[in-house]
Amino acid sequence: MGDLSENLSRKEFECECGCKFDTVDFELVNILQDTIQHFTKEYKTRIYCIITGGNRCVQHNEKIQLLYNRDYIPFSSNSQHIYARAADFKLYKNKIKKENQISSVEIYEYLYIKYPNKYGIGWYINRNHLDTRSGQFARWGR
Ligand SMILES: [Zn+2]
Ligand SMILES: [Zn+2]
Residue 96 — φ and ψ, nearest 5°?
-80, 85
DSSP secondary structure string for all residues of 91-121: EEESS--GGGBPPHHHHHHHHHHHSTT-SEE
Question: Is position 14 within any domain?
Answer: yes
In the reported structure, the alpha carbon of residue 81 is separated from the centroid of ligand 2 by a whole-number distance in angstroms of 6
- pLDDT at residue number 33: 98
3-state secondary structure at position 45:
coil
- Give the SS3 label for residue 128: strand
The domain that contains 101 carries what CATH number? 3.30.1380
Ligand 1 centre to CA of 23 (Å) is 12
Q: Using one digit for the tens of pLDDT, what is the confidence trace for 43-66?
A: 999 999 999 999 999 999 999 999
CA distances from 9 to 14, 19, 44, 106 (A): 10, 17, 23, 24
Indicate if the alpha-carbon torsion angle 38, 39, 45, 49 is positive or negative.
negative
Per residue, the 3-state secondary structure of 51-96, as one string, reads EEECCCCHHHHHHHHHHHCCCCCCCCCCCHHHHCCEEEEEEEECCC
Query: In angstroms, what is the span from residue 41 Cα to ligand 2's centroid?
Result: 26
- Tens of pLDDT, residue by residue over 5-40, are 999 999 999 999 999 999 999 999 999 999 999 999
Q: Which residues contact 25 (CB under 8 A, 6 or more apart)?
A: 83, 84, 85, 132
Question: How far away, in angstroms, is 19 Cα from ligand 1 center?
Answer: 4
> From the CA of 120, which ligand is nearest?
2
Is 23 within the bounds of a domain? yes
Would residue 4 count as lying in a domain?
Answer: no
Range of the domain at 102: 10-141
In a domain, 24, yes or no: yes
How much distance in Å is there from the Cα of 128 to the middle of ligand 2? 7
Task: Give yes or no for residue 89 having a pLDDT over 90.
Answer: yes
Closest ligand, as measured to the CA of 53: 2
Indicate whether 28 belongs to any domain.
Answer: yes
Domain count, the chain: 1
Average pLDDT, integer, range 78-98:
97
The answer on pLDDT for 1 being more than 90 is no
Any domain includes 2: no
- Residue 5 falls within a domain, yes or no? no
